[in-house]
């Protein structure tokens, strides 16, 4: 009887560990799938000096996930895409002139854009308090397109990336 109880306890622990591991793997897979950075950016006007006031349209199968990723997408867009001028603001070039920077500095950007510990958060604020307007949640096929207005501190972001050696400073020439 004692041996049966011991075997049963070991089996329960093994099942619990397998379930927790499978759940963690599923979450990791979902994070990796979203790491594609599919989004659109539009200028919403001028922000405080040294910042961009932009609207980011993020895509996901769940609207709440798209909202969460809007901050990452905003930072990614400022670094790698830039955006066209509209609403009284000028077009902005990306901070990086290197189109391969994300792949070349993969370890840095994996850590920088990490959902739990990522440094990207210090450079972006939601200006709509995380609640999209009525027309800013759209169903597109099997996924949602969610638009949120964010403010990106581009001056601090540039300085951070320069200090880390990720991008060259403006004074470094062409």
pLDDT computed for residue 1 by the predictor? 63
Q: For the ranges 119-123, 147-151, 162-166, 170-174, which has the lowest average pLDDT?
A: 170-174
**pLDDT > 90: percent of the chain:** 40
Which tens digits make up the pLDDT trace of 70-122? 889 999 999 999 998 887 788 899 999 898 999 999 999 999 999 888 899 99
- The whole-model pTM stands at 0.75
Name the phi and psi angles at 5, rounded to 5: -65, -40
Pairing of strands 143-152, 52-60: antiparallel
Place of tokens 């922000």: 47
Listed in sequence order, the residues at least 6 apart from 149 whose beta carbon sits closer than 8 Å to its beta carbon are 44, 53, 54, 55, 126, 127, 128
> Cα–Cα distance between 80 and 7 in angstroms, integer?
55
């Amino acid at each position: 009887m004692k041996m049966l109880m011991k075997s049963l306890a070991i089996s329960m622990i093994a099942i619990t560990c397998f379930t927790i591991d499978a759940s963690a793997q599923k979450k990791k897979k979902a994070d990796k799938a979203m790491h594609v950075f599919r989004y659109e950016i539009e200028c919403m006007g001028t922000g405080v000096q040294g910042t961009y006031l932009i609207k980011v349209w993020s895509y996901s199968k769940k609207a709440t996930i798209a909202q969460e990723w809007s901050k990452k997408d905003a930072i990614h867009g400022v670094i790698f895409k830039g955006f066209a001028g509209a609403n009284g603001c000028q077009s902005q070039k990306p901070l990086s002139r290197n189109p391969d920077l994300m792949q070349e500095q993969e370890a840095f950007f994996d850590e920088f854009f990490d959902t739990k510990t990522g440094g990207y958060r210090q450079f972006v604020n939601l200006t709509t308090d995380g609640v999209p307007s009525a027309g800013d949640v759209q169903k597109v096929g099997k996924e949602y397109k969610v638009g949120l207005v964010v403010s990106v501190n581009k001056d601090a972001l540039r300085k951070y990336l320069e200090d880390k050696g990720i991008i060259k400073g403006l004074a470094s020439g062409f």
